[in-house]
């Protein structure tokens, strides 16, 4: 059975590529990140939930910017933080 994409992923229509390979917030605070995600609403690149600060997740929920892509080289997928849904692109 095919699962329907959530509205956030279904309506996502513009790919915002990462502009930097660093967490914008960790750089400010001297934090360390594991993997990076790029917000598809504003283009901010932030650390993933495997990182201690979880900046991408915090950003998504605080700003209601729910769709992010992996900013890791060679990975082509998007995640919706609100609906916890994943899609390859």
Averaged pLDDT score across all residues of the chain: 95
Overall number of domains in the chain? 1
pLDDT at 1 over 60: no
- 3 pLDDT band, cuts 50/70/90, is confident
CB hemisphere CA count around 21 (13 angstroms): 2
Query: Considering the domain boundaries, does residue 12 fall inside one?
Result: no
Handedness of CA 63, 52, 87, 74 (dihedral sign): positive
Which CATH number characterizes residue 68's domain? 3.30.40.10
Asked, for residue 30, whether it belongs to a domain, the answer is yes
Question: 84 lies in a domain?
Answer: yes
Q: What secondary structure letter does DSSP report for 22?
A: S
Which of 3, 2, 7 lies closest to 83 in space, CA to CA? Answer: 7
Q: Give 47-84 pLDDT, tens digit per residue.
A: 999 999 999 999 999 999 999 999 999 999 999 999 99
User: Is 80 a domain residue?
Assistant: yes
The owner of tokens 């934090």 is 31
- With a pLDDT cut of 70, the percent of the chain lying above it is 98
The pTM is what?
0.93
Establish if 8 belongs to a structural domain: no
More confident residue, 51 or 1: 51
Q: Which domain holds residue 39?
A: 20-88
14 within a domain of the structure (yes/no): no
| Residue 53 domain flag | yes
Record the tokens describing residue 49, joined without a space: 């939930």
pLDDT for residue 2 is more than 70: no
């Amino acid at each position: 059975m095919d699962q329907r994409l959530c509205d956030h992923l279904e309506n996502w229509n513009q790919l915002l590529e990462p502009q930097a390979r660093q967490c914008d917030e960790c750089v400010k605070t001297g934090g360390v990140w594991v993997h990076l995600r790029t917000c598809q609403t504003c283009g901010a690149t932030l650390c993933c939930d495997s990182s201690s600060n979880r900046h991408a997740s915090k950003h998504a929920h605080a700003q209601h910017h729910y769709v992010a892509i992996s900013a890791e080289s060679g990975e082509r997928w998007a995640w919706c933080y609100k609906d916890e849904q994943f899609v390859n692109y």
